[in-house]
A and B are shown apart, each in its own frame.
Chain A
Amino acid sequence: MSKFYTLIVMIALLHSSTSGVALSAPPVDVDVQVLAELQFPVPSGAAESKYLGLSGTGSFKLGQIAAETVIVEVFSMYCPICQAAAPAVNEFYDFIEKNPALKGKIKLVGIGIGNTPFEVDVYRKKYNVRFPLVPDDDFRVEKGFAEQVRTPTFVVLKKGKDGKLEAVYTQKGEFKSRDDLLKKLPGQPAAK
């Protein structure tokens, strides 16, 4: 192969490797074992509790949510990026609920980091959030992350046959459309 074509191939390889790195969202270093041990208040709304598959009052752990895949959105009522993303996240939730292949298998829960129940409720009402949101006013969820959590952060947790959770995808920052996350879910059909 001439030197010229060798150079072309090298440039093309460089391009593909650069693109590959660039198009992957920066990973979030999450400790699932720590996240799985955190307890959150069972939502007071009957519909929300039913959606999560929880009964009674008190607290719950993420592993108790009745779903094969649990998507956790760490958000804050005070976060303008979360506010901007709220309609798209709602749309993402609606898409799952309307899709028989996904409904019941994938469930969403929002954790309001640094937010009181009152503040979570302000956010829920403002954006008509239809999936359960729970408060985390003392920032406990931060213990599950290696660095300060940037909101919104999405963690896709897959439940194994032994009931253990595994983080299969993480995403932080802007969320512009439902497809942002939907097409990243392992083993799920991409959004149409």
Chain B
Amino acid sequence: MDSRKLYLITFLVAVVSCSAAMAEIKLEPRDTRIYNPGELKPVDSAVKVKAGDIAPDFSLPTVAGGKVSLGQFKGKKNVVLSFVPAAWTPVCSQQWPGYNIAKDYFEKNHAVLIGISVDNIPSLFAWTSTMGKLWFPVASDFWPHGAVAEKYGVLRSDGATERALFVIDKQGVLRYADVHDINKMPRLEELVKELEKLPK
């Protein structure tokens, strides 16, 4: 076989391989990257805070850089803490995108949202980049592992956190705690209802 024929065959084989590979990439639905752990024990910790308590302060690194603390909002904003169990898992991967389009409801009630997970910053960076541009800080409670989650009593026995929401008023007082069934999405209207109860 002469060299021209050999080049032609090589070229055609390359085209076939490339188009097959590109098609695979194109057709891969984005959410197949989500790891499904199956049905989990709904709650696997004992919450340590209740309505009326001063919410434990913390300072955690964020995906955007810098740190976020509860104390920085004292006297200025109501705060919602959204603990999610783990990056790249079902429910979690949709909960924050949902809050991302509900910014108006937080602003209307003078509230900020802080997302917290025990994943490290690189993992959180990769994961949250699939959610579009988030308007709220995403904080990593990775090290010391789950220390903030432990203060609130939402660290599960496997090192993940509960799916939990805490609403804290401008004075730093906990007004509402929802340690939710980890397998289910907390309803947005329930959170909005609690935000609307906060003193203006």
Contact = CB atoms under 8 A, between A and B. Distances in A.
B189 A15 contact: no
A26 interface: yes
Given A4-B1, A22-B24, A116-B189, A76 B12 contact: no
B109 interface: no
Contact of B23 (A22, A83, A116, A173): A22
B119 to A, nearest CB: 18
A7 B9 contact: yes
Nearest to B20: A18
Nearest to B132: A80
A47 interface: no
A173 B29 contact: yes
A19 interface: yes
Q: How large is the interface on A (under 10, 10 to 19, 20 to 34, 35 or more residues)?
A: 20 to 34
B20 A83 contact: no
B51 interface: no
Contact of A119 (B8, B15, B98, B100): B98
A59 B20 CA distance: 46
Interface string A90-126: 0000000000000000000000001010110011001
A8 B11 CA distance: 11
Contacts of B194: none
B197 interface: no
B95 interface: yes
Contacts of A34: none
Contact of A15 (B8, B12, B94, B97): B12
A25 B29 CA distance: 10
A174 B8 CA distance: 36
Most buried by A among B29, B131, B132, B187: B29
Given A22-B22, A118-B188, A150-B29, 20 more contacts: A4-B5, A8-B8, A11-B13, A12-B12, A15-B12, A15-B16, A15-B19, A18-B20, A22-B19, A22-B24, A22-B27, A26-B27, A78-B98, A78-B185, A79-B97, A80-B131, A116-B187, A119-B98, A126-B101, A150-B31
Interface of A: 4, 7-8, 11-12, 14-15, 18-19, 21-23, 25-26, 76-81, 83-84, 114, 116, 118-119, 122-123, 126, 150, 172-174
Interface of B: 1, 5, 8-9, 12-13, 15-16, 19-20, 22-24, 26-27, 29-31, 94-95, 97-98, 100-102, 105, 130-132, 185, 187-189, 192
28 contacts: A8-B8, A8-B12, A11-B9, A12-B12, A15-B15, A15-B16, A15-B19, A18-B20, A18-B23, A19-B23, A21-B23, A22-B19, A22-B20, A22-B24, A22-B26, A79-B94, A80-B132, A81-B30, A81-B31, A83-B101, A83-B132, A116-B187, A122-B188, A123-B101, A126-B101, A172-B29, A173-B27, A173-B30
What are the 9 closest A-B residue pairs judged by CB atoms, nearest first? Answer: A22-B23, A78-B94, A78-B98, A118-B189, A80-B97, A173-B29, A11-B12, A126-B101, A15-B16
